[in-house]
Amino acid sequence: MFLRIIFSFILLVFLQNTCISQDGGGKSDPPKKDQSIKSKRKLRKADKKKWKEDRRNKRAEEKKIRNHHKRIQTKEVRKRMKKNKGKAIRNNTHQREPFFQRLFQKKKGKSSKQPKEKTSKVQQ
């Protein structure tokens, strides 16, 4: 009995909050569809034009920064950057190096055939 009263009280509280009256009471005149569609289209077109211009400016600025960065490097560094860029592109596309480059390359890591010479810490 007591549980039903509490449940009904909570239900009434929630129903009162959701039944908020509307302002105005009656229907207003519907907006003209022709004007609103044209104005929306104009706004969309202007936004797109602005977005394209911003994107063009941003890309031009990034290109300027890249070119300046390249220009201040020495010739050897530019060559190394170019070589490393090629390696990065090859690695990103998951391609192996060509056969002859792999064949005549220095071995890397523990798989090399030549043992390292150990130097003793105690010098006599």
Domain range for residue 60? 33-96
For residue 27, being part of any structural domain is answered with: no
Average pLDDT over the chain, rounded to an integer = 81
Amino acid 72: pLDDT = 95
Total count of domains within the chain: 1
What does the pLDDT look like over 20-47, one tens digit per residue? 556 665 566 665 566 688 899 999 999 9
For residue 39, being part of any structural domain is answered with: yes
* 3-state secondary structure (DSSP) of residue 86: helix
Decide if pLDDT at 64 tops 90: yes
Amino acid 3: pLDDT = 74
Taking the CA atoms of 65, 71, 77 and 79 in sequence, report the sign of the dihedral they define. positive
**Spatial separation of the C-alpha atoms in residues 82 and 97, rounded to whole Å:** 16
For residue 111, being part of any structural domain is answered with: no
For residue 71, being part of any structural domain is answered with: yes
Amino acid 52: pLDDT = 97
What does the pLDDT look like over 90-117, one tens digit per residue? 899 988 888 888 898 888 776 656 656 6
- CA-based nearest residue to 87, from 78, 76, 77, 96: 96
Question: Could you tell me the CA-to-CA distances from 28 to 4, 31, 34, 35, 111 in Å, in that order?
Answer: 43, 9, 18, 17, 83
Amino acid 89: pLDDT = 92
For residue 87, being part of any structural domain is answered with: yes
Backbone angles phi, psi at 110, to 5 degrees: -75, -15
Question: Could you tell me the CA-to-CA distances from 5 to 9, 15, 17, 18, 19 in Å, in that order?
Answer: 6, 15, 19, 20, 21
**Spatial separation of the C-alpha atoms in residues 45 and 39, rounded to whole Å:** 10
User: Model's pTM, two decimal places?
Assistant: 0.41
**Spatial separation of the C-alpha atoms in residues 75 and 38, rounded to whole Å:** 57
